[in-house]
Amino acid sequence: MRISCPFCGERDHSEFTYGGDASVTFPELDASLEEWNDAVYIRSNPKGVLREKWHHSGGCRIWLVLERDTLTHSISQVEPARLTISELVK
Ligand SMILES: [Zn+2]
């Protein structure tokens, strides 16, 4: 699988570290342990296009959000996890 980092260009996925489902929303810091357990460990693992966090650990070290089809591994979108970073490098 190849990932096109918006800052470094196309690279092999081995330069990246998977960071989990980007659609997960975490509870408030004072939420119950059960809410935190569910947010951290309970996943639905659906097939198809998902938004995922990936860290370019072997490159620019920026966190990215990818839209990736888990069946075909095709990537339809890559953007910085913090969109303000794109504005900083313009
Ligand atoms: Zn990069």
For residue 1, the CA-to-ligand 1 centroid distance in Å is 15
Which chain residues have CB less than 5 Å from ligand 1, an ion?
Answer: 5, 7-8, 56, 59-60
pTM: 0.81
- For residue 15, the 8-state DSSP code is G
Q: How many CB atoms sit inside 10 A of residue 13's CB?
A: 14
For residue 49, the CA-to-ligand 1 centroid distance in Å is 22
Cβ 82 vs Cβ 63: under 8 Å: yes
For residue 60, the CA-to-ligand 1 centroid distance in Å is 4
For the cut 90, the answer to whether the pLDDT of residue 77 exceeds it is yes
CA distance 32 to 34: 5
- What confidence tens digit (pLDDT) does each residue in 3-59 have? 999 999 999 999 999 999 998 889 999 999 999 999 889 988 889 999 999 999 999
For the cut 70, the answer to whether the pLDDT of residue 60 exceeds it is yes
- For residue 1, the 8-state DSSP code is -
